[in-house]
């Protein structure tokens, strides 16, 4: 399914699609009334609302949103019908060109049909396929949310437009509930928390979309990677490491130069063209193909925390969730046909166990099938899709089908997880590939002594370490479980006289393999405790004369408050047990 197919699916499945589509028109109509020189680009419904990209003669600010809402309220009250009409393509190009609507003209020029669809409500006419509600009065609850800049068609070489985001619901109560969810999402925003907690940053001098991990952020990343590496080794995966750059010959052979070139960073050196890797799979293929393989060797599971780079447009970059350089917990499994379904089941089980360890327990599973542009035979695609379906059925897993959304080399299962406030995040993926083994002539020697074609499964559990890092911060609103906290305990002496005992406490905690630090600043104890709570450190160990004499610590928890005095060894064991158990509550 191409872009048009996705759009049709959303129209059919989303009960708020027509309402939000209509609200987008009314918003553009209101802006046009307030600023008659406004030119229109696109205004689609999106997952939780709508937006419209506009070329205005003035720069809008947040103070303009209530004015636009007020004008929208007038249009809604006027109760204009949404009426559909048609115009010949050439006539429409002439009409919109005369109106100075260059963006609409570009859209129409790309339409294949001989006529185009238009919708009118009151004085407002827009190029549109619908659907819409009956009248503007059917828009019951609408709210404008924010402003942003957006390049026309996502291309930084094109004009920058002003984008207005909004949302619409069937009732004021539903709208209010949504606005509360947005407030909660804002409180959990990993970009703000990443700065406040000193975890990571983006540096203008280095360019957009590349992440700088600060000491605490690098520690959290290490904890995630150590866990995921440990789990792979337990399950028979072998660690590999591959270069960051390859000659483009390999990308041509794999199909990436044909299907993925626009996302690749390419350069030349000594009259050879190279590409910075956007994927890890060709490197793993070369390792597999470096020697003859036997049927007894399979399955071979190669795992790499492989850093890749993709040329994402600056307009779509979003904190850690969409970056240009990121690390995948990437594995490629080379196996026989009789091992395929069982291996996919094993991966699904692995995925769910990992996600539960991190505190995610709700999932949405999607099966994506052959896209319009693909490599490999129809028979191999059917075979691969059948294996994915069989594995899902064997595990009793419900799933939805996304026609035409597979990778160019094979169908896939995508695992979306739900976080603490019900948002879905794309994480794991399992891709069944018969095509690249053909292109690279991957074989193994069978029991009959003959060469047989190897099958390949691409899979990731976290997806991207960067994206998962951001998701974790938002899941826990920065208050990470003890096992993931970069600093698990801060030791707070009540005065300078007890700094030496504080150091002994830190040493003891460190001997129990705990991450502890001493706050020996010349500041009041209450200020230190407040700072530790703001930094979301799970435990505070306050020490003074009484504690030094008794060999104890006065324990505070970031949520539960004062837990009273504890013997130092007992406290260390408590935190150690909580960390080792990987409790998430």
Looking at the annotation, which residues are catalytic?
Answer: 281, 310, 328, 330, 332, 412, 458
Placement of tokens 């609103």 in the chain: 477
Angle between helices 568-580 and 499-511 (to 10 degrees): 40
Rounded CA-CA distance 48/480 in Å is 27
Is residue 305 within 8 A of residue 328, CB to CB? The reply is yes
Q: CA torsion angle for 119, 121, 124, 130 (degrees, to 10)?
A: -30
Nearest C-alpha neighbor of 333 from the set 366, 304, 292, 367: 304
Whole-number Å distance between alpha carbons of 10 and 273? 41
∠ CA 294-296-299, rounded to 5°: 95
- Taking a C-beta distance cutoff of 8 angstroms, is the pair 368, 415 a contact? no
Q: Rounded to an integer, what distance in angstroms lies between the CA atom of residue 379 and that of residue 361? A: 36
- Give the chain's radius of gyration (CA, Å): 28
Helices first, then strands: H and E counts in the chain: 19, 28
Cα(34)–Cα(11) distance, integer angstroms:
30
C-alpha atoms less than 13 angstroms from C-alpha of 575 in its C-beta half-sphere: 33
Query: For residues 461 and 373, what is the distance between their CA atoms, to the nearest angstrom?
Result: 26
Give yes or no for a contact between 576 and 513, defined as CB atoms under 8 angstroms apart: yes
Tokens standing for 242?
């591959």
Q: Is 86:116 a contact under the CB 8 Å cutoff?
A: yes
CA-to-CA dists, residue 371 to 51, 257, 309, angstroms: 28, 17, 23
Residue that the structure tokens 């970009």 belong to: 191
| CA distance from start to end of the chain | 41
**191: closest CA among 205, 215, 207, 211?**
211
Instruction: State yes or no: cis peptide before 299, omega within 30 of 0.
Output: yes
Q: Are the beta carbons of 200 and 217 closer than 8 angstroms? A: yes
Residues 302/238, Cβ–Cβ less than 8 Å = yes
51 contacts 165 by C-beta, under 8 angstroms = yes
In angstroms, rounded to a whole number, what is the distance separating the alpha carbons of residues 37 and 47? 30
N residues, the chain: 585
Distance of alpha carbon 364 from alpha carbon 426, whole angstroms: 9
């Amino acid at each position: 399914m191409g872009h048009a197919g996705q759009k049709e699916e959303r129209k059919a499945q989303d009960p708020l699609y027509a309402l939000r589509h209509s609200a987008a028109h009314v918003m553009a109509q209101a802006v046009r009334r307030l600023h008659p020189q406004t030119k229109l680009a696109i205004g689609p419904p999106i997952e939780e609302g709508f937006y419209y990209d506009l070329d205005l003669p003035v720069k809008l600010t947040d103070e303009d949103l209530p004015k636009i809402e007020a004008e929208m309220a007038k249009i809604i009250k006027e109760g204009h019908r949404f009426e559909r009409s048609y115009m010949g393509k050439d006539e429409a190009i002439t009409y919109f060109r005369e109106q100075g609507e260059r963006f609409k003209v570009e859209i129409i020029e790309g339409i294949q049909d001989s006529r185009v669809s238009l919708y009118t409500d009151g004085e407002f006419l827009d190029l549109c396929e619908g659907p819409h509600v009956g009248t503007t009065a059917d828009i019951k609850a609408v709210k404008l949310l924010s402003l942003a800049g957006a390049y026309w068609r996502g291309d930084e070489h094109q004009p920058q437009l002003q984008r207005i985001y909004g949302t619409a619901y069937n009732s004021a109560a539903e709208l209010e509930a949504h606005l509360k969810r947005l407030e909660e999402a804002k409180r959990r925003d990993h970009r703000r928390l990443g700065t406040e907690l000193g975890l990571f940053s983006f540096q203008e001098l280095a360019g957009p979309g590349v992440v700088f991990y600060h000491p605490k952020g690098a520690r959290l990343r290490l904890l995630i990677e150590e866990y995921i590496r440990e789990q792979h080794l337990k399950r028979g995966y072998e660690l590999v490491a591959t270069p960051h750059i390859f000659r483009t010959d390999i990308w041509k052979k794999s199909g990436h130069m044909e299907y993925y070139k626009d996302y690749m960073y390419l350069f030349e050196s000594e009259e050879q063209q190279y590409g910075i890797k956007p994927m890890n799979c060709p490197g793993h293929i070369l390792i597999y193909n470096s020697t003859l393989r036997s049927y007894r060797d399979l399955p071979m599971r190669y795992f790499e925390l492989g850093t890749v780079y993709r040329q994402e447009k600056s307009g779509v970059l979003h904190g850690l969730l969409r970056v240009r350089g990121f690390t995948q917990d990437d594995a490629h499994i080379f196996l026989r046909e009789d091992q395929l379904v069982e291996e996919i089941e094993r991966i699904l089980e692995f995925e769910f166990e990992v996600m539960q360890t991190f505190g995610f327990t709700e999932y949405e599973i999607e099966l994506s099938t052959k896209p319009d542009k693909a490599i490999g035979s129809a028979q191999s695609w059917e075979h691969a899709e059948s294996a994915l379906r069989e594995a899902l059925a064997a595990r009793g897993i419900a799933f939805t089908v996304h026609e035409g959304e597979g990778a160019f080399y094979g169908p896939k299962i995508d695992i979306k997880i739900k976080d603490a406030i019900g948002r879905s995040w794309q994480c794991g993926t399992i891709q069944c590939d018969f095509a690249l083994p053909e292109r690279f002539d991957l074989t193994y020697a069978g029991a009959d002594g003959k060469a047989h074609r190897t099958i390949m499964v691409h899979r990731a559990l976290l997806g991207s370490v960067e994206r998962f890092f951001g998701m974790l911060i938002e899941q826990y609103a920065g208050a990470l479980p003890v096992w993931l906290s970069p600093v698990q305990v801060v030791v707070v002496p009540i005065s300078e006289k007890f700094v030496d005992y504080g150091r002994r406490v830190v040493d003891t905690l460190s001997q129990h393999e705990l991450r502890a630090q001493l706050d020996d600043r010349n500041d009041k104890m209450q200020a230190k405790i407040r700072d530790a709570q703001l930094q979301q450190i799970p435990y505070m160990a306050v020490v003074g004369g009484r504690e030094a004499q008794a060999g104890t610590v006065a324990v505070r928890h970031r949520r539960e408050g004062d837990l009273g005095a504890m013997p130092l060894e007992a406290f260390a064991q408590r935190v150690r047990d909580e960390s080792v158990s990987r409790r998430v509550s």
